[in-house]
Structures are given as structure tokens and as C-alpha cells.
Chain A
Amino acid sequence: MKKQFFVLFFMGFFNFLYAQVYSDYVGAGHSEGVSISSSQMNTNNDPLNSVNGSGLGMDEYEVARFLNYATLGADYELIVSVSNQGISNWLDQQFATAPVVNFQDTTWAIWEHFYPQYINIWGQNAVENAGDAVIPYWFYWKMAWWNNILKSDDVLRQRVAQAYSQIFVISEKSNLQLSGPGMADYYDLLYQGAFGNFRDLLYDISLHPMMGFYLSHINNPKSDPVNNIHPDENYAREIMQLFSIGLFELNLDGTRKKDVQGNDIPTYDNNDIKEFAKIFTGLAPAAYYWPWEDYSWIPPEWGSEYNESPATIVTWEPMVAFDNWHEAGNKTLLNGQVVPAGQTTLEDINDAIDNLFNHPNVGPFIGKLLIQRLVKSNPSPAYVARVATVFNNNGSGIRGDLQAVIRAILTDAEALDCSWQDVASAGKLKEPLLRYTQALRAFNVTNQSGRLWNWGYQFDEAVSQGILASPSVFNFYLPDFQPNGAITDQDLNAPEFQIHTSATSINYINLVYDWFMEDNLGEIATYASGTIMNTPGYELNELDPVDYLYLDLSDEIAIANNPTALVNRLDLILTGGLFSNTTKTNIINAITPLSDMNERVKAALFLAFIAPEYSVQK
């Protein structure tokens, strides 16, 4: 590490050169094939190169920008490492990395850490007789998510899973909060399937009991005309509108097809919804669960009272079919495809999933949503078309290969070419959650106990975002949201601005102050509250010192005597070189009078995190 300080020290000079960042430089921005060969990186550590411009750390900037798309936050070591191996090789390595964590296992482990404490405080009898008081609620899953994403090195998979979680939405803001392991298992599905096939993902989420509860196709019976009961249409609608094809027929490039009158062409109508509703009948929980009684021997039964709540079922196994409760008769799917009468529930569902999966909309629809999550809010039609083409055929004749799709998105010229930085429509507002994960990951947050069990509740309250915590199935923001002003005037979209309000925009600044100036980096909860049953305590001043979160800022403190070098380093790590000279000067001017180096670094971080260049990815 130490060697790099020289480089950064000299970045005061380098800054001068760096004013040219928006223009081209060798090796930057033309990396469509993306094999940035960086064997010369070793020589970059020679400070001379920073002055004479011969070696430069230029591709470190490009890599840092790329890692803003591809991770939940990269530290300096990762930036250097990816520079050394090249983006393409790094992607190969990430794609080849099997899932390294299991969110459900971690959730159970955390709950099992608390459970004995509840027993200790309240007594076995009180705990078991207080209804659902001490069940493994949602917050153990939240702690597990934070713990795992902060620790694991399969950073691309983590980033992609988080992106999927905003497309295939379920939320704790529902009765799903009764089952932390269920939420975790659903997330495991997104995480483990991140680089798999879209068809499998669509099938798996459709059969997941948490989705079943969220969009109410669990316990959904066939129609009963005598009693005016019809199949529940909720999942039938949303799987089409949100998870696969969208509302309108699309061209390959994501623009809408038009009929002869020039109108949009709906992909489905209410009759189609009714047909798909019939498909999703007959599903029920696979088994039952209760924390302190063995329910596993109870056979699953249609209409059982245990079926009604995520708290009393096994939420980590797919729903099972009760064919007697499945709508008999044929069903007409999209494009006139008829599912014959008499099939089993799962045969019908498989046919319906195939019907949607093979709809030509999926590539452009899902492709554009993923681009918006990972790279930019307003991809050009050509970019969408390139990604959709890969969705349709990964080059080996396979449709829906998400690994190929992710690679196409991340290595597209429109993602990597720095000339896009000057284009008004380029870029996106970085989600508050990603600003937070980056703050913690970029500086290697840790604690002595190794329990990074962040609750994330106050963060959510402040900025309206958390993992699997949106207010509805429409995520935290709509893909076509337009904030008032210049973005609307140019008819552009900027989804994340939907949660950049007069309250959240200010709360974010206050959070940044808490993180860096107050050393309050999260709500770590490791002990049971003494006052409320089944509530972890997380008051900062009551924390066990071994659980106290801290950042490793030693590298920053070591160069802080040179404010310019410090700010350049933060600019590299956090934005990939997007700070304007004015922004750098403003930060430098503010921190230079601070003589305590620790304080200077924290002040620099506070200011860097509220600079618009940090929150706006270009």
C-alpha cells in the first residue's frame, strides 16, 4: 500500500493533467473489447509517471468508474487489482466464482444468537406463549444481508442480486416481515441465479412462497362460479407487467412498436390476465414450521390454517401443487398459444413461463431495466438493442443467458467510453443504498467481533431505501420517473430522483455527517433489548465495544498532510475521477485549515460524499 502514497502525493501536479479527463486518453474509453492490458500498472507506482504522463494511473480511473457499476463499493486494492488483470479477465473470474455466502444460513445463525438471550431475559415460558413474539422476523435477514455483502468478495454477484431485487420485487413492508429466513431464501435465489438463465429465475421466483404471499397466488383456488369466486389475478398481472414483458410491444431497441394509427400496442389485455390467473391456481406451502414445536410431520394441506401466514410455513422451499385446486380446462396464453386441459399445475406453470420467456419483449424490457439499475438511466436505443440481442442469443444459441447479458451491459461502449460523461442524458443518480454500501466497502468497514449485523432501519427511515424494502411491488421508484425541471424538459428519465425529496435529500447529508463525523456507521445489533421482547437493541452508546464499526482510513490519514493528494485519492476511489476541479478546490480549501489529520480525512469524506459528483454517476 505505502508505495501508492507517492503517486497520490504527486497528484497535485497530476491534477493539472487530469483537468483533461473529459477528453480522450490512450486506453480509455475505447475499450469495447475491454481487455485493458495493464501490465504496466506496476510502473505506475513510479511517481514520475504521474508527472510526465507516460504511465499514468489512467486506467485506474476507468476501472473505478466501471466498479461503480459492477459492485456495491470497491476499495483501492480492488481497483488496482482489476486494473492489473483487466476488466474482461476480472469479469471471467467473477462469473466463475460460485456463491460464497448463504443469506438464509446467516439469517438463522443470527437469530440463533438472539434466541437464547430472549429466553434468558423473558423465560422460556413467556417466549413460547407470547404468540409469535420471538419468531425469526425480517430484521435478522436485514442483518444477514449487511453482514454478507460487507464481507464477501463475489462483488459482481452481490451487485447483480441487489439489482434483481429491484426488478423481481418483494418487500418486508408487508406480512413477509414475519419470516426473515423466507426473505433471505428469496434473496438467495436471486443471488445464486444471478448468472444463470432468466427462464429459471422467472420460474423460481414464481414458485417461491414469499412471492406467493407478496402477490397472493399462494393458496389461490380454482374458480367457484356458484359462489362468484374467480382466480386471483395479482400475480398474473405483475409477472407480465413487471417481471417479463411490460405493458407494450417493444422493438429490439426498447422503443415501442406502433399500430397503423401510431398508437402503442398493449402486450396483453384483461382476458389474458384472467387466463394467466387460472395458471397460478393450486399452489400452497410445502411444509410447516414453528420455532419451538416440530411441525415438520404435519402434511401440507389445502386450506390449512397454517397456510395463511409466512410465520407458520416453510418459506424456504418452493410452493407445491394441489392439482385438485388447480383450474381445469385449457388456457389461452399470449400469441394464441393454448395450454391443453388436464395438465398438472406445474406443467401449466412451465408452459406459461415458457410462453412469457419466449416473448420478444423480454430482451429489451429486462435488458433496459438492468441497464438502468447498473449503468445509466437513459440508455440509447442502440445500447438496449445490443443487450437485447445478447439476451436473445448469447452467441451459442442460448436465450436468456444472464451472464452474457450482464457482460454485455457492463462492457458496452456506452458504459465504459468516457466520452459519454459529457452527454447530458448520460449517467444516473446513485441510489442512496449504494452510496451507503460504497461508504462502508470502500474503506473496509469492520469490527472486532466480526458481526457486521447492521439493521439499516434508520437509514431506510431517512432516505426511503433498504434491501427488499420498497413500499410496493413497483420498487422504490419507477423506471420512467421524471423529476421536475431540466430532466423533464428534455423528456428524460431519472428513476432514483423519485426518492430524492426535500426530506430525503437533506437526510442523506445528515447521515453522511453521522457516518464520518460521528463515527455512527450503522445500527449494529447483537444483544436483545431488555425492554421489548424480541427486539434487538442497537443504541450506539450501548454497543459492546467489540461490535463497534470502524473504517480503515489509515491510507488516507497517511497522505492527509497533502490535501490535494487526499482529495485525488477519494476522487479515484469513489467516483473514478468525476470530481471537477472546482469541487476538488472547494474540498481542499475546506479541509486544509484542519490540522488534525484524522479530522481532516473525515471532513474530506463528509464533503466528498455530498459533492454531486459522488451521487451522480456519469
Chain B
Amino acid sequence: MQHKHKINKGISRRSFLGTASCAAIGSTTFLSSLLNLGVANSLAGMANPTISSGGNYKAMVCILLAGGNDSFNMLVPRNGAHYTEYANTRSNLALPSGDLLPINFTDANGKQFGVHPAMPEVQHLFNNGKLSFISNVGTLVEPTSKTQYLNGSVKIPVGLLSHADQIQQWQTSIPQNRSSKGWGGRMADILQAGNTNQNISMNISLSGTNIYQVGNASTEYAIRASAGGSVGINVYEGTSALDVALKNGAESLLAQQYQDIFKSTFTNKINDSQANHEEFSAAINQAPVLSTTFSNNAVSANMELIANTIAVRDTLGVNRQTFFINFGGWDHHDSVLDNQTNMLGVLSKALAEFQTAMEELGVADCVTTFTMSDFGRTLTSNGNGSDHAWGGNVMVMGDTINGGQVFGNYPSLALNSNEDVGGAILLPSISTDEYFAELSKWFGVSNSDLSYVLPNISNFYDPNSASLPIGFMAS
């Protein structure tokens, strides 16, 4: 609890506004305050962005599998005793070994793996070095053993196994608190200033408001695949006398400065969004037609819009962008086998399509895609589904990564193992902090800023270390 306030006070927007130009604040509110914050950040020594505009483009695409992906059926041990252990524990949820799609990797324990039969594209990406798994990742406050968990001698995440808390903590990476600020937003607090274009947020959401992309001074810019991109006020484009009158009236209403914080929050969002739209739509209209074809579903449509946005990065004047997709519906207490077959199939195709598009655009070496999810699920069955658990397996993709590997120690799936904290719930062996620190460092967060982005990181990893926390990023 203390921690959250410390962070907020350290970089609260209000305190910057106090030192920044008041004139600017009066005119365009948040857009100009982003600029001010960039300056303020440097002054405060919070960040010293060294990214030059133009070139050096990097993007991170986050796919949140909301609801808790049963990821021990996504990445499955397929050989000998390892498969038997899996099949015994998972009982009627176990996939037949013959259905698993083999991937070319053997871990230190001799475990070999297959991916879910609905994921041939992921199998292909993995075997071609474009995709890797990281095993048993989860929310942790500090390094935690089963004994420590059971005797309560370490801090454990609040609201363990609860959707609302765990989905939040994957986005904040501060599991000891409830917080509405995410690590992607804190990255933007620091790195936004490096973009030439200060109007449009570095953090672009395909799924509306989220915690991950909201920082202490940054917020997401939401675009929509169903709208073909950004959304603008239609009447502002009208030319009839009536429309012009309405536009003028609307602008006068929305330009009012309100002391009331509900009203100012309401109008600021509209005004910022309209200004962003005018710029964004001008740029996205210039996107080239990709020869990569995308499947006809919402996830692929979102990936296609991300590809189009990346295609116009120079026009937009950005060299750092994060993208966020919330792909929901993974809470498979029921019918997990059928549902996962459908949904992992959608995910697998969307990943492959996006990777192809990045290669077509020649940016596959500067775009990293990664997944997260509320939690893994109980290894045991509740009849025909599985329940909320803790550690789970995630995917990273791109030419930026060390592909074709399973990072971390894929846990024993035997009941009552050292990772099983009871009820077939797996204690994570890699923290979200380590996972995100590696992505953040690649993205350009300096060693000294790492603990701003990930306040708990030094519990797991020395930010000044010469080596990476996990090793999945190639550079």
C-alpha cells in the first residue's frame, strides 16, 4: 500500500503541472502535458531518453488471453513418463498424445513437447525459430518456494486465483497492491518523449481501456478494427450550414474548462481523442495494401490493424509503440477441450498472419509479440473444465527473440510436486517482473529506469546485471 503512494507522488501529474507551463495546460490539456512531462521527466532525472527519431523503430504487441488460458494444454510434454504424468493428472482433460503437434525441443530433463492440435501455425513458427514459450510464469512479489508459500513467510499476491486481481496484476506487475497503473503505461511515461509525435500516445489499444497501458502520466489511445482505425466526430466533417453550426456549438461546449473533475475528465478524453483521430486517420489512410491475408475474426482483424498502423509509423512520427489486444473468453470452467480447440486455433492463425505481415513490411526484427493471461488453470479437472490457478505458459514471437525454445523450467505435472501448492495449482517459477523486464530492456528502458517500470524487479533481478533475466530476447 505504501509503495503505490510513493510511486504516485514521485511522478504525479499534478506535481509536474505545477512546474510546467500553465499556459500550455490551459489550451490542450493532456496532449501538451505529455510534452511537459517529457521535459519534466528529464528534469526529475526519471528518464533521459536517448532514442533518436526516425529509424530504430520498436513495437511490442501484447495479447491478453483474458479469463485464464489453460496453458498446460497449450504446451504439453509428449514423451514417455512425462506424458504419462500429464495424462494421469489431467485425467479427462488430457489431450491424446497422438494429437499433439510435436515441436523440436528437448529440455534439460529430457522432456519433449507438443503444442495443442489446434495450433499448427504455432508449431511451424516454433520450429522455424520465430516463436518460443516461457514456462510457468506468474505473479510473485518476491521469490517464493512452496514451503514459504505454505508457511506464509513471504508476501504473496493479493487476491490470488481471483480474475479481477490477477488480470490486474499481470498488467501492473505489482501484485502486493491493487493499482490501476500498468507497466506499459510506466514505460510510456519514460519513452513517450522519444517519439517525434507527442500527440498520439505511444500506447495504442485495440480493446479500449486497460490497465497495462495506463501510466502515471500516460494513457492508451483506443482504435477499433470495426471502425477501420481511429474514431472521429462525424459532424465535424460535415459541410452543410447545419453541420457547421453543430460543429461550432459542440466545440464551444467541449472547449469549456471545468473545475469539476468528472466533467473535465469527460471532455478531455473527447478532445484528446478527436485531435488524435485527425492525425491518426490521415496517416492510416496511407497504409499500403498488404498481400498477407488475415482470417475473418476479431483477433485477426485487430492484428491486421496493428500491421497497418506499424506500416505508417514514419507518417505517424513514432519510433516506439505498444499495442494491446484483449482476447477474452478463456475462463473454461466448462468444456475446456472444445473451447480451447476453437480459441487456440484463432490465436495460432492470428499469430502466423501477423508474423507474415511483419516480414512483408520488413519489420519482423523490430516487433515482439507476447501473450499474457490471468493465470494458469488447475491441472485437475472439475468434470469437464478446470479452475483458477496460478503459474502458466506464455508465448513470445518475432525475429527479435531466440526462437524455438522453451524457457524456464517446465514444471512437473505430478500432483503434490514441489510446484503444486495444493489443489493442482502451480507455484510460478518465473515472475511477471522477470518476463516484463526482459521485454522492457529490449524496448529501451534503461537499467536505472527499470525499477520505475517494475517496482519489484530488484527482488528477482539486478537491473544493472549484464545478463538478461530469462534470455528469450536475442539482443
Contact = CB atoms under 8 A, between A and B. Distances in A.
Contact of B242 (A308, A429, A503, A599): A599
A197 B208 CA distance: 37
Q: Which of B218, B387, B424 has the most CB of A within 10 A?
A: B387
B265 A497 contact: yes
B248 interface: yes
A492 interface: yes
A542 interface: no
Nearest to B185: A484
A490 interface: yes
Given A241-B162, A485-B265, A501-B209, A506 B231 contact: yes
B242 A591 contact: no
A431 interface: no
A616 B222 CA distance: 22
B230 interface: yes
Interface stretch (B43-51, B111-119, B251-259, B287-295): B251-259
Given A219-B383, A228-B380, A502-B230, A610 B265 contact: no
Interface stretch (B124-132, B268-276, B438-446): B268-276
Contacts of B264: 485-486
Interface string A604-618: 001100111101101
Contacts of A485: 13, 30, 261, 264-265, 268
Contacts of B165: 247
Contacts of B273: 501-503, 505-506
A444 B234 CA distance: 27
A504 B270 CA distance: 9
B231 A502 contact: yes
A233 B163 CA distance: 12
Contact of A492 (B261, B263, B277): B261
B269 A501 contact: yes
Interface string A589-610: 1110110000100010011001
A482 B209 CA distance: 11
Interface in B74-117: 88-92
A502 B260 contact: no
B345 interface: no
B249 A607 contact: yes
In this complex, the interface size class of chain B, counting residues with CB under 8 Å from chain A, is 35 or more
A489 interface: yes
Given A424-B260, A583-B256, A509 B233 contact: yes
Interface in A487-521: 487-490, 492, 494, 497-507, 509-510, 513, 517
A174 B8 CA distance: 38
Contacts of B380: 228-230
Interface in B193-215: 205, 208-209, 214-215
A427 B380 CA distance: 47
Given A216-B333, A503-B227, A587 B249 contact: yes
B180 interface: yes
A552 B261 CA distance: 34
A606 B223 CA distance: 24
B12 A489 contact: yes
B346 interface: no
Lowest 8 CB-CB distances: which A-B pairs, in order? A590-B249, A502-B273, A216-B333, A486-B261, A612-B263, A232-B382, A228-B380, A586-B252
Given A502-B277, A591-B249, 20 more contacts: A228-B88, A228-B90, A228-B380, A264-B158, A472-B328, A474-B164, A482-B180, A484-B214, A484-B215, A487-B262, A488-B8, A488-B180, A502-B223, A507-B231, A599-B242, A606-B246, A610-B250, A612-B258, A612-B266, A616-B266
